């Protein structure tokens, strides 16, 4: 794959991921620039190119949304990425803080034929090691989380279970691992200090303080107290 095609796939995947996280089909140029860690002008130029290719709808000063063709391409890349992550995690025993970067490198090189066989080999899984839903071959997300919220949004006294982690930077995942947290961990919110911007929670008897902006990346569902 040439550099242009790789960049196009990265942008389409980014637009889809922001849209899934925000629940909005339209995303702003600023959002995409922050997500891609590039200048807004660079994003604007790329969105114009993607519009010419009929992969996005683009409105100056408003943002962009994926066309059906763009969404189809983005889902294919996302499917590849998440299945590769799970394959590396389950089969090669890489840790959840190692697999994201490796999948980023591999997702543009593997064929859909190979990805479909990885999917079958893994038993048509619902989610990757970070809890992100894996699209099926027809583009449907296999897992939905009813009552999904963030740790930051929970009120004191709420018992929760971690089901998804949206920040997949290596240091953040290592921080969670050092704190004894992983998918399926159950805990309780003890304190929420809006002025200080801190959420205090307890997991297996261990108290953990997180900044609100950090706790927003930990997706949870309410559970009954043990």
Instruction: Please report which helix (H) or strand (E) contains residue 148, including its range.
Output: none
What pLDDT is recorded for position 70?
96
For position 208, what pLDDT does the model report?
95
Report the alpha-carbon distance of residue 164 to residue 220 in Å, rounded. 7
Residue 16: its pLDDT value, please?
A: 95
Q: At what angle do helices 99-106 and 68-90 cross, to 10 degrees?
A: 130
Tens of pLDDT, residue by residue over 52-73, are 999 999 999 889 999 999 999 9
Which residue matches tokens 């840790």? Answer: 95
Q: Residue with structure tokens 């998440």?
A: 82
- DSSP designation for 153: G
Contacts of 96 (CB under 8 A, 6+ apart): 89, 129, 130, 173, 177, 182
Phi-psi group of 56: left, alpha or beta (phi > 0 → left; psi -120 to 50 → alpha; rest → beta): beta
Over residues 86-111, mean pLDDT: 94
* Sign of the alpha-carbon torsion through 160, 184, 129, 191: positive
What is the predicted pLDDT for the residue at 21?
84
Instruction: Categorize the per-residue pLDDT at 142 as very low, low, confident or very high, splitting at 50, 70 and 90.
Output: confident
In order of start, what are the domains of the chain with their CATH numbers? 1-65 (1.10.10.10), 78-142 (1.10.10.10), 147-220 (2.30.30.90)
In Å, the largest CA–CA distance within the chain is: 56
Give CA–CA dist 23/138, Å, rounded.
20
pLDDT tens figures, 179-198: 999 999 999 999 998 888 99
**Long-range residue pairs from 58-62, CB within 8 A, at least 24 positions apart, any chain:** 62/26, 62/28
Instruction: Please report, for residues 7, 53, 150, the alpha-carbon distance to residue 114 in angstroms, rounded to integers and kept in the order given.
Output: 22, 27, 35
Residue 28 binned pLDDT confidence (cut-offs 50, 70, 90): very high
- Count of CB atoms situated within 10 Å of the CB of 111: 9
């Amino acid at each position: 794959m040439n550099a242009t095609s790789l960049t196009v796939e990265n942008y389409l995947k980014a637009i889809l991921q922001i849209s899934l996280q925000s629940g909005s089909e339209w995303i702003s140029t600023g959002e995409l620039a922050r997500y891609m860690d590039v200048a807004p002008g660079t994003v604007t130029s790329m969105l114009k190119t993607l519009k010419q290719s009929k992969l996005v709808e683009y409105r100056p000063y408003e943002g962009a949304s994926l066309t059906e063709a763009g969404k189809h391409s983005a889902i294919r890349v996302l499917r590849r990425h998440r299945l590769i992550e799970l394959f590396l995690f389950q089969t090669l025993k890489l840790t959840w803080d190692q697999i994201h970067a490796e999948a980023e490198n591999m997702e543009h090189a593997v064929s859909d034929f190979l990805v479909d066989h990885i999917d079958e080999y893994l038993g048509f899984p619902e989610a990757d090691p970070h809890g992100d839903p894996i699209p099926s071959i027809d583009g449907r997300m296999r897992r939905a989380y009813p009552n999904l919220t963030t740790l930051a949004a929970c009120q004191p006294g709420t018992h929760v279970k971690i089901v998804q982690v949206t920040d997949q930077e290596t240091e953040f995942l290592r921080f969670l691992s050092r704190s004894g947290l992983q998918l399926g961990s159950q805990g309780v919110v003890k304190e929420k200090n809006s002025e200080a911007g801190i959420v205090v929670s307890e997991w297996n008897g261990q108290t953990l303080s997180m900044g609100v902006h950090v706790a927003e990346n930990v997706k949870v569902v309410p559970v009954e107290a043990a």
